[in-house]
Amino acid sequence: MNMPHLLCLTALCHALSISATQILLGVLIVILFKKSILEGAFRWFETPYTPLVIGVVLSGLLSTLLGVDPSRSIRGFSGVWVMFFLFVGLFLVRKADVPTIFFWLILGGDIAASVVFGQKIGGFYVRGFYSHLLTYGNVISMYITLCGSLMAAGLVNSGKEKTFYAASMVFMGASLILSLERGPIIFTAITLALIILYRFKLKGVVGAGLLIFLVSAAFILTPGSGKSLTELKVGWGDPRTSVGTRLVLWKTAAQLVRKHPVFGIGEENFQLEAEKRIRVQVNATCHAHNAYLQYLVTHGAVGLLALLALFVKMIRDMAKSLFGGREPIVLVGLSLSTVFLLQGLTEDNFSDDEVAMVFWFLSGIVLGCLRSPSQPGQESAKIPPPKKW
């Protein structure tokens, strides 16, 4: 299997199997070191993201060693390895292969959406398919955003391609609404509305408003939405609801931050420390249900600042390219960053491997395209039909 085939298989697996994706990441990491050390194909420090990622890793190591229970934290420290997908996109993905990789990624999303339709309508359960629908919602939210941003950036031209991406966006969007996961639905709608406004400026206000209306109407008409909306209205004072649980966890996380502000408590310690302080019944205590608070509690101010520095650098580089008119594909990266960072407001998606792997993989691909921009006078790469293997 050559490199493009391996990358396309990885793209397909992202939405379907976390285990297969992690195994493929392990293979790709070996290839990265082989190409850099034995073949000299690239130098790790030729990109400014390498020292920033090292900063994230070192801050995580400090929180592990200086946290409340290093012996427990060391078991969870391995989670940072999924960030290697950033370097997979930067160093292993050729610009000519990006369209085909995107096709297989979206095809995987369509298959995953089909499974959700089967679960919600057909009533069958697929063992090992996502731990819960919120995780699925956050993943498929990025797939929907990918489709919308590709079309808005003008990177999809032929009728067949537009039909595929538009149909996939609607199909996956319907599965997202059927999941009734409020956060991913809201953040996806907001991101798509921002894409419309960027693409059409003031003329897009009507389109963005119509999108919000259609998504809201579809959600209200979905069976089971009444209970979800009722909880959203009255759940603020009830810690047993998802809204009430989050409020309790956020308050508890703030207490832990005040006690461990610099280096945090370390991985795998939140649940134990939170349960010492919570005196009411809540739905879950595994994490803070806010990625920023969770990261601040776990790794302290040092860790959060290191991670935010990486995000800021990525977004700044993409924004400079977008407004400089050089690489329209950066609209994809900025849109994905928007929806990913919004998701973090109500869920610990930074540490959720299924979600984080998609984000780092796609971000690496976009940033990799900036490393090999179109030459002056050449048209930026469009999305051609997938290559036949």
pLDDT digits (tens, 9 = 90+) for 136-157: 999 999 999 999 999 999 998 8
Treating both helix axes as pointing N-terminal to C-terminal, what angle do 353-371 and 133-152 enclose, rounded to 10 degrees?
20
Give the Cβ contact number of residue 6 at 10 Å.
15
**378 within domain boundaries:** no
Q: Which residue has the tokens 């005196």?
A: 279
Distances (CA, A) of 62 to 13, 70, 76: 33, 10, 13
Residue 10's pLDDT is: 97
Residue 131's pLDDT is: 60
Alpha-carbon distance of 252 to 178, in angstroms, equals 32
**259 within domain boundaries:** yes
3-state secondary structure of 156: strand
Q: Which residues of the chain have pLDDT under 50?
A: 373-389
Task: Kindly state the DSSP code that residue 119 receives in the 8-state scheme.
Answer: I
Is-above-0.75 flag for pTM?
yes
Distances (CA, A) of 315 to 94, 324, 336: 21, 14, 10
Alpha-carbon distance of 92 to 294, in angstroms, equals 32
Distance of CA 145 to the CA centre of its chain: 10
**133 within domain boundaries:** yes
**4 within domain boundaries:** no
Q: How many domains, in total, are found in the chain? A: 1
Question: Among residues 59, 52, 58, which one has the least CA distance to residue 302?
Answer: 59
Structure-block tokens of residue 40: 């000299």
Alpha-carbon distance of 264 to 121, in angstroms, equals 44
Question: Among residues 270, 275, 326, 325, which one has the least CA distance to residue 298?
Answer: 270
Number of H helices, E strands in the chain: 16, 0
- Contact predicate 105/15, CB 8 Å: yes
Residue 388's pLDDT is: 39
Residue 121's pLDDT is: 83
**191 within domain boundaries:** yes
**273 within domain boundaries:** yes
- Contact predicate 381/362, CB 8 Å: no
**301 within domain boundaries:** yes
Structure-block tokens of residue 144: 């929907």
**367 within domain boundaries:** yes
Range of the domain at 39: 14-371
Residue 71's pLDDT is: 86
